[in-house]
Amino acid sequence: DEKIFAFLDINPVNAGHTLVVPKEHYQWLDDTPDELLVEVVLTAKRLLTAIRAAIAADYVAVNVIGVDVPHFHVHLIPRYFSDNFVNWPARKYREKEMEETAEKIQLYIK
């Protein structure tokens, strides 16, 4: 539409991997105006429903990464329970680290 592009990723995790990208430049999600975020999310929702049906995916993962390309965008990645797609490595918090981290974040919540 006039505010948002959507296109297939040229290096897909799985067939149907789609990017949803605002036409206006914002580097990070938190730089993006709320009204535009709503439009991006609603567009992503509409597309992921279509992708899941068209590709017969078990579900569609929604990711906002933003490191490789300095422009806010959303990845819609069709997933299958059997695809062995590896998620990022998890780690355990050190003692009290979780509580300390939560407290630090709470100081910045507006």
54 Cβ contact partners less than 8 Å away, ≥ 6 residues apart: 16
First to last CA, the chain: 32
Active site residue 25: no
Q: For residues 90 and 80, give the distance between their C-alpha atoms in angstroms, rounded to a whole number.
A: 21
What is the layout of strands, in order, in the sheet containing 4-8? 4-8, 18-22, 74-79, 59-63
Looking at 17, 25, 71, 73, which residue is catalytic?
A: 73
Whether 40 contacts 20, CB under 8 Å: yes
Which sequence positions are flagged as catalytic?
Answer: 73
